[in-house]
Each structure stands twice: as C-alpha cells, then as structure tokens.
Structure 1
Amino acid sequence: MSTFEKATEAVAFLTKDLPEALKKPQVAIVCGSGLGGLAETVQAEPRAEFDYTSIPHFPRPTVAGHAGKLVFGLLGQKIPAVLMVGRAHYFEGHSMEHITFPTRVFKRLGVDTVVLTNAAGGLNSDYNVGDITLLNDHIFLAGFAGVHPLRGPNDEDFGVRFPPLSDAYDLELRRYVHQAWKEIATPQTSRKLHEGVYAYVGGPTYETRAESRMLRMMGADVVGMSTVPEIVTARHCGLRVLAMSLVTNNAVLAPVTRGDEETLQGKDAGELNDLIEEGKAGHEEVLEAGRAAAVDMQKLVVQTLLKAFGNA
C-alpha cells in the first residue's frame, strides 16, 4: 500500500464521524514538548479527539510530554483546525517516512497551512530560556547524509521529485507573527521573539559542547530533534509552513575543562563533577520551561492564525 493510500485510509477513518464544520480543517498545528496546551485554545464545541493508537498507520510517540492524540476544533470560533498533541520522533525507532505520515494526512484532509512548534536548545548567546524563535531557515545534517523523508520513489500524488526549500518558511505568515507579538507582548513581558535558523539532529542525546560550537559556527541559532522532516514533507505537499521554537535550555558552547588544568588541583570528586555538569540539559528542564511559556506561545499562535485567516 502506498503512502497516499495509507493517508487516504486514515482520513476516511477520521472524517466518517466528524461534525461537518470540522471535516476540512484549514490549518494543522503540531504541539511540541510541553506545548500540548495549545489544544485547549480550540472551542469546546464542536470538537473531536482521536488517540493515535486508533488511527490507521499513525505513529505513536513514547516521549514524556507528548500525549498522542489528534484534536479537531475551531480556533477563534471560525477557523477549523486539527492539532497533534505530541509527535513521534526518528530517535524513537520510527522511519523518516513514518514520523512524517501525519503531514501526509493533513494534506489529504485539505489543510492549507501547517504550524509546527517545538522545544529547542539555544545556541545563540542572545537567546534566553523562555524566548520564542520564529524559524526562517534550517540545517538538516541528517538529510545531507541521506536520512531523508523523501528518500525512495517519489509519490507524485503529493509532490515533485526535487522540491525546493529556499522558500520553505512562509514570509507572509512570519510577518503576521511579528505583528501578533507586538499586540500580545506587554512591557512586563520578559521573553523575546527572535527569528533564526534551526539545526535538526537525530537525538536522543543532547549535543556535546564541540557539536554545539560547530552548529553555531554553521549559522544555527537553535537546535532540536524534530520539525525539519515534517517541514520538508509539508513543502513537498505544497503546504504553507510556519514554525516556532521555544528555547527551553541554553546549549553549552564553552570548551570542556581539561584534565591537566592547574586549577583542578585540590578539588574533590564532587567539585569536579559540578564543573563538568555545568549547564547540562535534561528533559524535565525542557518540559518545565515549556509549561512556563505555554500561555504566551498559545496566544501568539492563535493571534497569528486569526490574522492569517482574516478574522482579526
């Protein structure tokens, strides 16, 4: 069975009992780590939820902070939307084709625009934990090496063999984001909105110091383990793309302390451990930062979409 046929089967399952107002969503939103609260921005009625385990061919996430449900509802009372509360990742053992399957389903549902959110590590020294980065480009090292969602025979039902990506991040939508941020940010708002470049890494380990420095030297502002395969697939399908990263930790770029440094003399094992672990990232830290910034991220996404679809 082709990917197109699998996506068609999934859509048939999803739409058979959906309220008429939700059968053709205009926008799809992918909720990243700790950002599942975006699903609560849709109206209470009409609304429908599907556990990923019930949807034919759908990948199932195993990572904390990724609930694994598809939510259909209305944004701003008028915009039919479908939200992925949690996503599957390549590092969980899925293939690139499998983790991008939901994007194919969005295309078959009739979605025009996909909004992707994620938790990311900050590489740019100007970025602080809690800041939001609007993506305008990416570095896909795995894709360079052939670990690519479009590898294999091209499915002409979705798109062309060699899709360009120089225009991947929709400029009009990014303009709306900046306009929306000016409206929702208050003088008391400590977090900032940036535009920058996202580097995709396979994971599941966080980056070493040397890897972080390399990515920063290549021009990356944030780094994470998702989103880019979905963006590649979305553009292959002809979907408009908007993507945002929540900076949930600062990557450590300082070189590791050498074992022969004179300053280490006389330090006990605990003190040495503190030195080497300074700035070390953890998944709970990522989730906590997501919870703290969720409200602002939700407001920004909704206000942007209201502008994009002419309801604000």
Structure 2
Amino acid sequence: MPPPTHDHADDVSIEAFTTATNYLRARLPLELATPKLAIICGSGLGQLADTIENKVEFAYEDIPGFVSSTVQGHAGKLAFGLLGDKRTPTVCMVGRFHFYEGHTLKQVTLPIRIFKMLGVEILIVTNATGALNRDFKVGMVGVMTDHISLPGLAGNNPLFGPNVSAFGTRFPPMSDAYDYNLRVIAFKAADYLKFPRGTLKEAIYTFVGGPSFETRAEARYLRSIGGDLVGMSTVPEVIVARHCGIRVLGLSLVSNMVAIGKGKSADPSEPVNGLEEPLVNHEEVLQIGKERALDMQKLVRTIVDLISST
C-alpha cells in the first residue's frame, strides 16, 4: 500500500504533523515508536546511524510532508533503533534539508516537530563546519554554546508566520538554546574516551544561507561579530526544537579553515602581503567527516549512554 500523499509540505497545521507522525508510528515496533532522543547527522557523518541496533529506516520521500535532500553526503532517510550500551531508543536523521536547496525553513524544520510528537526530549545536532577562529583546527569538535543567525536577523526565521501554539509560545527565548548540562556531558564523554585535551572546545556557530562559501571579507566580518565557526545549517532546527521544548546539544566537526586574510595585493604601490590560503570545497568537508567518523560515532554513543544514565 503506497504512503498517503501530502501536497502541502509547507503546511504548519497540527494536522500535517499528525499525519506524518501517525505514518511512522504505524510502521514501527513498540520499542522504537516513542524515541526519547533524536540525532541529526551532518555532512559526512551519516555513519552515525550505522551504530544503532534493531534499525528501521524510512526514505524521506515516503514520509508524508517530507522533502528530499539533494546534497552529496546526505543520504535522505530516518533511521530508528537502539543506540549505545544502554540501548536508548533513538531516531537518526541521516541527511538534513537546507535552506539553500530551495526548501522553505518550515520544510527544513518539519522533522523536528514530528520528533516532538513522537516523544523526543533531547536533540543532538551535528554538522561539518569551517573555522573562523584560529584557536580551532581541522578535526576538532566545537561544542555549540550559542549561535548567530544571519538569515534570521534578516527575517528568515523558521517560526515566521502563524504560531502553532500546540508546540510553543509566540516569542520563545533563545538565550538558553544549547543546554548546559548536555554540554557538560559532552566533555565528560570526551574524557571517558581519553580524547586529547582540546579535541572539544566550546564555540559560537554562525549560520549563513549558502550555498557559496564566504568571501574573505565576509569571513572577517563574521569573526568580528563573535563567530568561531560558520556553516549553512543547524540553527533553524535548533530554533524549532527550543520552541517545542526539546533540549539541544550541538556538535560541529571542524572540516576546514576559512580563508580570512586579505590575500595578495595587485596594487604595485602596496607591499606584497597575505598568505595563499587554500580554497575550501565540499569534497574536503566530506573527507574530514570520513576520517573522523569513528571518533564522532564513539563520542555520540558515549554521550547518549551518559544521558541515559542520569
């Protein structure tokens, strides 16, 4: 029997979310039907879903209201299963939706509200990111403490439009977007795994629309306003999760160093200055994700076990 059709992916009515939730619940075994934890797997980090047991998967295109991911490194499926030694019921979003793909922010964040209706209480959101702050190096993990949303400040907020009061208030605060206790657990997990000190570092994440990477001047501006890391995702999902009352832990794998120097001057009256900073490309982002996949899997599994033990 084909799944029910849903022609209004941008519909924010409670009925739209209920349709998708009921579709999933009807096809899940009882032990997986009410996950308490959700994980969004960012670029190159989809292997996290391979660590769960008793897995049940759903392609995005089969779920009512979902759109499809078009980005290399994003598989496009929900994977339900039991994660870690504590066998925590978990749903993994293997591949996310992005604003730059042409989706609306309501489409991008629709899965978060479905997670809430399924019973999710904690969201772990991961991404691959560029480092603006030179205290970060490729391979480090930024533990998000705050964010700067350039699209949001310009009016592109996923909560724009009618408020769905069943999920939350019209004006939700974001000053506590990234849960302190979950951040403490992340550092405890790194210590437990004996990661070298400094592998994890707290960071402010800057959200930009993409899909072009930042110019040098833009990167310097983002650094000047307090950004440590920059990426093209995550913040819309976090805003909707907090609107729903879901606690959030954000983990950013540093995949590249963002070019922030002024570069060489072509003006013969100016001294030759600036370093030749390599251009970033998406293949580099995916490669770093592959290289650090095992460490990220261990880190997230350990975090989930520690959360389940508290």
Q: Same fold (TM over 0.5)?
A: yes
- C-alpha distance after superposition, 1:191-232 (max 9, x if no partner): 711101000000000001111111111111000000000000
Is 2:215 the partner of 1:208? yes
CA distance in 2, matches of 1:261, 1:29: 53
2:179 maps to what in 1? 170
1:3 maps to what in 2? 13
Q: Percent identity?
A: 48
CA distance in 2, matches of 1:112, 1:155: 18
2:136 maps to what in 1? 127
In the alignment, is the contact (CA less than 8 A) between 2:263 and 2:276 conserved in 1? no
Distance 1:3 1:298, change over 3 A: farther
1:83 maps to what in 2? 92
* 1:15 Cα deviation after fit: 1.0
Pick the aligned partner of 2:26 from 16, 22, 46.
16
Pick the aligned partner of 1:259 from 263, 266, 288.
266
* 1:262 Cα deviation after fit: 6.4
* 1:281 Cα deviation after fit: 0.4
CA distance in 2, matches of 1:211, 1:232: 24
CA distance in 2, matches of 1:142, 1:12: 32
- Map 1:123-202; keep pairs closer than 5 Å: 123-186=132-195, 189=196, 192-202=199-209
CA distance in 2, matches of 1:261, 1:110: 64
* 1:279 Cα deviation after fit: 1.8
Is 2:277 the partner of 1:305? no
Is 2:68 the partner of 1:60? yes
CA distance in 2, matches of 1:298, 1:4: 34
Is 2:291 the partner of 1:292? yes
In the alignment, is the contact (CA less than 8 A) between 1:130 and 1:191 conserved in 2? no
In the alignment, is the contact (CA less than 8 A) between 2:261 and 2:275 conserved in 1? no
**1:205 is aligned with what amino acid?**
S
In the alignment, is the contact (CA less than 8 A) between 2:12 and 2:106 conserved in 1? no
**2:231 is aligned with what amino acid?**
G
- C-alpha distance after superposition, 1:45-70 (max 9, x if no partner): 2x200000100001211000000010
CA distance in 2, matches of 1:96, 1:253: 29
CA distance in 2, matches of 1:277, 1:91: 28
Distance 1:136 1:190, change over 3 A: closer
* TM-score (structure 1 length as normaliser): 0.92
* 1:178 Cα deviation after fit: 0.6
Is 2:242 the partner of 1:229? no
* 1:185 Cα deviation after fit: 2.7
Pick the aligned partner of 1:42 from 52, 58, 65.
52
1:269 maps to what in 2? none
CA distance in 2, matches of 1:79, 1:292: 26
Distance 1:176 1:286, change over 3 A: same
Root-mean-square deviation over aligned CA pairs = 1.8
* 1:2 Cα deviation after fit: 3.9
* TM-score (structure 2 length as normaliser): 0.92
CA distance in 2, matches of 1:3, 1:259: 56
CA distance in 2, matches of 1:129, 1:190: 15
* 1:308 Cα deviation after fit: 1.0
In the alignment, is the contact (CA less than 8 A) between 1:119 and 1:290 conserved in 2? yes
* 1:83 Cα deviation after fit: 0.2
Q: Is the partner of 1:309 in helix, strand or coil?
A: helix
CA distance in 1, matches of 2:268, 2:183: 47
